[in-house]
Amino acid sequence: METKTLLLNQAEAFVRQRGFDGVSFADLADSQGIRKASVHYHFPAKGDLSLALITRYRATFQDRLHAITASHDTGGARLLQFIDLYRDAADGGRSLCLCVALSVTQTALPQDTMAELSTFHRDVSAWLETVFRQGQADGSIQHGTDPKAEAHAALAQMEGAQIVARAAQDIARFEAAISTLRARAL
């Protein structure tokens, strides 16, 4: 695996556990047994690292959403798989998904990273809106009213549930926070 990919993998793990402000190029260099200048070769500034992280994460997450769509026929089944993506990313309450970790430290992020993060949220909300529309149409999501509003609320609920679980380091907090959403899916 090439150095840039290894650095991105390690940086993502650090950001998800420590937050973006808790990651330094010295930590990345030490984790890979290279000099700090080598990290700067791949990412001249920390803002370049943040942009590379969210760009890669957005593409990977879209692939996961496409896979859910391809492998599950009902809106309810898709919603449950989406919930599981966020639950798995919480790593038992020890971590946050990258989008949540970056969202809570956005004052430290450059505008291009913020724009990519905004695009991530827009894309996920749009996908969720189709899930809620599907769930209304096939009857697999109960109590549906406004798919667009439900999509935004569901995304906020997932991200908030991760933060609560991370703060307590207890995945049961995640489950409690999303239990009403999970119960709606048939």
> What are the pLDDT digits (tens) for 6-24?
999 999 999 999 999 999 9
- Coil, helix or strand for 63? helix
Helix (H, G, I), strand (E, B) or coil at 3: helix
Q: Supply 3's token pair.
A: 């150095």
Output phi, psi for 109, to 5 deg. -100, 145
Q: What is the DSSP string of 77-132?
A: HHHHHHHHHHHHHTGGGT---HHHHHHTTGGGS-HHHHHHHHHHHHHHHHHHHHHH
pLDDT of residue 107: 79
pTM assigned to the model: 0.95
For the chain, domain boundaries: 54-184
pLDDT over 70 percentage in the chain = 100
For the stretch 103-127, pLDDT in tens is: 988 778 999 999 999 999 999 999 9
Q: Which CATH architecture has domain 54-184?
A: Orthogonal Bundle (1.10)
